[in-house]
Amino acid sequence: MFDEKTLTESREAEARWRAAFDRLGARMESNGCPSETQSGLPIKNAYFPHDIEHLEFNQIGTPGSYPFTRGNLAAQYQFMSWANQPVIGYGLPEHTRERMDYLAAQGMVGYFGRPFYNLVYDLVSHEGLDPDHQGARGRIGQCGMAVYSVRDMERLFSGLDLRKINVVHITYYQVIPALAQYIAYAERLGIQPGELRGNSMNWYHQSAYVGMTAFPPDQALKLAVELISFCTKHMPRWNTTNFFCYGIEEAGGTAVEEIGLMLAFGKELVRACVAAGLKPDDFLPRFGFQIAQANDFFEEVAKIRAMRRIWATTMHETFGASDPRSLQVRIHTHTSGAVLTAQQPLVNLIRTTLHAFGAALAGTQAMEVSSYDEALAIPTAEAATLALRVQQVIQEETNVQAVSDPLAGSYYVEALTDQIAKAALAVVEKVEAQGGYVAAQHKGWIRREVERSAARWRGMVNSGERRIVGQNCYVREEGPEPEIFEISPDVEQIAIERIRELRATRDSARFERAMRDFEVVAKSFAQREVSELGDDNLMLAAIEAARADATTGEMMSVLKSALTWGPPH
Amino acid sequence: MERRIRVLLAKPTQDCHDRGVRYLMRMLRDNGFEVIFTNFLVAEEILSSALQEDVDVIGISSSSGGHMPVFEDLLAGMRKQGLDDVLLVGGGIIPPRDIRALKEWGVAEVFRPGSSAEDLIEFILKNVRGAGVDAVTADKSEMSS
C-alpha cells in the first residue's frame, strides 16, 4: 500500500522514535501496561506504515465490499442505526411483556424503526422441563421468562402484530419446541411461518464450552441442520442460527479463540447443511453472530473486523458462496458480563459504555448492553433503562455514526486486525486437523483450551498483571446493599397451575396422536445420517405437537429419550 | 497412607455460568484435594454422589437464582442421611440477605464475587471434619498430575 520511499522513511522514523522511547525507558519504570493483548498477542508501543506493508489494500477494502473487513454495508449507520436489543425475560410471560413495553416506550428500537424484542426463556425451559417437574423448583421465571406452550405465547405477545415485529427467541436446546410453538401461535392468528421475522439461536454448539447437560454433539449437529433446512424452505425471513461467539469469551476464552472456534464450527455446520442437500447461498444469509465486547478495547474492535474478513474469505473460497449476504457477518453485540463486578456495581456503567462504544466503532448491527447490576441479579427497570441510555447517548450525541469504520487505516488497528485474523485461522486449522468441530468437542479439546485461557486470565488478575477496578485495585469497603430485583413470589404457583390447566383442557386425542408421531419421527431421526436429512419431518412433527398444545417439557422429553441427553463432552 | 480431602463441587444443570466452578475445580486439584465435579437437577442426585464418594465437603455453585430451594432440599436430605458432618458451602451470585438465611439454616459459608480460591481452600482446611487431625490433609506431595 506504500511506496518504497514512504517505507524507508517509516523505518527511519521508527528508529528515531525507538531511540527516544528507550532513553525515557532507561530513566523511568514501566507503569505495568501489558505489552500484549488480552489474547496474548504481542503489541508494539507505537505503529508505523511498515507495520502493515504486508497487507494488500483489498484485504482492508471498502465498507460494503468483499471481504467486508470494514463492515457489511456501504452506508454503515448513516441510514439505519444499530438495533437496540436488550435481553428481556423474567417471571411470567406478562411480566416480561411489561418490561418489553416499558423499554419500547423508552425508545428501544430495531432496524428501520421496527419493534425488536430479544427474549430469553427461563432456566426450566432451558433444561427442557415443565414447571411442575421437581427439578423446576426455585427456577421458574428465573433468568428468563416462564413460557412453555402456545398459550404462554398468547400471554406474551397478545395484541402485537407478529408480521411487524422481530422476535429473538433465546433458548438453549429447546430451540425446536420453542420455534414450533411460535409458528403454531402465529397460525392461530392466521399468520404464515413465511411472514415471521426473528431469530432462533440453534445454540447446540455451545455445549463444547459451556453448560452442564446437552444432546450428544453429533445428534446436536443434525438438530441444527433440521431447523436450518426447514426455515430455508418455509421461513425465508427467519434467522436460523446464531453463532454463540459470546459464550466462548464469557467462559474464559480469548478473543482469538472466540472467533477462531466459531469459524471452525461454521465450517462444520456448512458441510453438514450441504450434506443434507442445501446450497450455501440459500442458508448462509440467515446466519447471525453474537459477539462479546469486553475490556481490551482495540483488540475487541479488531476482532470484529478480523472475523468479518476471515468469515467472508472462508465462505467464498472454501464453499463457493457468492451472494454478499452469505459472506457477511451480521453481528449482535453483547457487552461482556464476565468482566462486570459485584463490587462498586455502578462502575459497571463505565465499563459497558466503553464496550458499547467499541462495538459502535467496529460496526455492529445490534446491541445488548449489560446492566450495571448484572453481577447481582436480574436487572431492575432502572438499571435496564440506563443500559439502553448508554446506547442512545452513543447513537444520538457522539456523532460516531457519521463515518463508516472510523478506525480503518490506523496502523495499529489494521496490524492488529491482521494478527487476530491469522491467529484465529490457526485455531481453525487445529480444529480441522482433529476432524472438525464435533470431533474436537468429543475429545474435550475445545473445553480444555477455553478453561486454560480462563485460568490464565484469573492468574493474571490474581497477580495484578491485569487490573480490575474495585476488585484488585481501588478496592473500598462496600456501601449499603444495592436494590436487587426479585421476581414476584407467586410466579411459581401460577406457572404450575397454568400447565395443569393446559393439560386438563387441551384436545387430548389430538395431543396423544401428535406426540406419538413426534416420538416415531424422533426415533427415526436419531438413526439417520446428516446426509439423510432434508425432509424436515422432525420440524413438521414438532409443529403439529405444538398445535396440539404440547409443552416444551413434553417435547423435550421425547427428544431427550430419542437422542439421549447428558453431561456435555 | 493419608487420605486427601474429598470435595464434591456441583452446579444446577440449568445454570450455564460454570466458568467459576470449573476454575475452582482446577485450583482445588492443584492444591491436593480430590475433586468430584457434577451437575444436578434435584438435590437427591448430589446426596447420592456425596454418599457414594464419601466426600468431606459439598460446594454448590449458583449464578442464576433459585439457590434457596436447592439448599433447603440439600440440608434436609443431609440431615436425613446422616451427612451432618459434611461441610456444605456455596458460592456465586447469591445476595447478602439470602446468605444470612442460608447460614442460619446451616450452610457453613457462602463465597461471594471477589472471594478467591485461596479463601475457599483456607476455609475448608480450617472447618472440614477432623480439621487439625493428621489423617485428613491436602498433601501436595501426593498430587498425581
**Residues of chain A found within 8 Å of residue B69, distances taken between Cβ atoms:** 137-138
- Pairing, β A366-368 against β B3-4: unpaired
B27 within 8 A of B121, measured Cβ to Cβ:
yes
Confirm or reject contact between A482 and chain B (CB < 8 A): no
Position of cell 488478575?
A461
B31 at A interface, C-beta within 8 A: no
Q: Does B49 touch chain A (CB under 8 A)?
A: no
Q: Tell me the one-letter amino acid at A86.
A: P
Closest CA to A421 of A520, A551, A312, A524: A312
Instruction: Give the chain B residue nearest A142 (alpha carbons).
Output: B65
- For an interface test with B, the pick among A124, A137, A204 (most B C-beta atoms closer than 10 Å) comes out as A137
Instruction: Give me the mean pLDDT over the A97-114 stretch.
Output: 94
In a domain, A32, yes or no: no
Rounded average pLDDT over A495-512: 98
Task: Please check the confidence at residue B138 and state whether its pLDDT lies above 80.
Answer: no
B7 grid coordinates: 470435595
The pLDDT of A136-150, averaged and rounded, is: 95
Strands (E), A71-220: 83-84, 87-88, 116-120, 166-170, 197-200
Contact B69 A137 (CB under 8 A): yes
ipTM: 0.87
In the predicted structure, residue B9 carries a pLDDT above the cut 60: yes
pLDDT (0 to 100) of residue A380:
92
Q: Shortest CB distance from A139 goes to which of B14, B22, B93?
A: B14
d(CA B31, CA B123) in angstroms, rounded, equals: 13
Section A48-58 average pLDDT: 96
Task: State how far the alpha carbon of A105 is from the alpha carbons of A125, A450, A510, B88, in Å.
Answer: 28, 40, 41, 46
Q: Contact at 8 Å (CB) between B95 and A484?
A: yes
State the Cα–Cα distance between residues B83 and B52, nearest whole angstrom. 12
Q: Which residues in chain A have Cβ-Cβ distances shorter than 8 Å to B68?
A: 138
Are A471 and A103 in contact by the 8 Å Cβ rule? The answer is: no
Domain assignment of residue A176, yes or no? yes
- Residues A209 and B19 sit within 8 Å (Cβ to Cβ): no
Task: Provide the CA A57 distance to its chain's centre, in angstroms.
Answer: 30
- Looking up cell 471452525 gives A264
In this prediction, residue A26 has a pLDDT band, given cuts at 50, 70 and 90, of confident
- pLDDT bracket for residue B132 (50, 70, 90): low
Quick check: is A519 in a domain? no
Asked whether residue B141 carries a pLDDT value surpassing 50, the answer given is no
Q: Among B19, B26, B47, B111, pick the best mutation site for testing chain A contact (most A Cβ within 10 A).
A: B19
Local confidence band at A152 (pLDDT 50, 70, 90 cut-offs)? very high
Q: How many domains does chain A have?
A: 1
Average pLDDT of the segment spanning B22-31 = 95
For residue A529, give Cα distances in angstroms to A218, A219, A232, A283.
9, 9, 20, 20
Chain B interface includes A51 (CB < 8 A): no
A341 part of a folded domain? yes
Reported as type and span, the H/E element at residue B59 is: strand B57-62
Number of inter-chain CB pairs under 8 A, A vs B: 93
pLDDT at A16 over 70: yes
Instruction: Look up the CATH number of the domain holding residue A218.
Output: 3.20.20.240
Q: What is the DSSP letter of A159?
A: T
User: Chain A interface, mutation test: which of B14, B15, B60, B102, most A Cβ atoms within 10 Å?
Assistant: B14
pTM of the entire predicted model: 0.95
Q: Which whole-number Å values give the CA distances from A112 to A41, A164, A545, in the listed order? A: 39, 11, 35
A268-304 pLDDT per residue, tens:
999 999 999 999 999 999 999 999 999 999 999 999 9
Cell of A341: 463486578
- Residue A344 in domain: yes
Grid cell of A354 as nine digits: 466503553
Put simply, whether B98 touches A (Cβ < 8 Å) is no
A566 is a domain residue: no
Q: B9: Cβ–Cβ under 8 A, 6 or more apart, which residues?
A: B21, B24, B25, B28, B35, B36, B37, B38, B59, B61
Nearest-CB residue to B11 (from A212, A338, A342): A212
User: Which chain A residues have a beta carbon less than 8 Å from that of B16?
Assistant: 126, 172, 206, 210-212, 247
C-alpha distances in Å from residue A213, one per residue of A206, A365, A411, A548, A568: 11, 31, 45, 28, 6
Q: Which domains does chain B have, with CATH numbers?
A: 3-126 (3.40.50.280)
Containing structural domain, residue A70: 57-463
CA atoms within 13 A on the CB side of A462: 13
Task: Determine the Cα–Cα distance for residues A99 and A90; give it in Å rounded to an integer.
Answer: 9
Q: Dump pLDDT digits (tens) for A426-472.
A: 999 999 999 999 999 999 999 999 999 999 999 999 999 999 999 99
Residue bearing cell 421461513? A235
Give the whole-angstrom CA distance, residue B111 versus residue B34: 20
Contact A191/B at CB under 8 A: no
**Are A380 and A397 contacting, i.e. CB atoms less than 8 angstroms apart?**
no
Residue bearing cell 446437552: A214
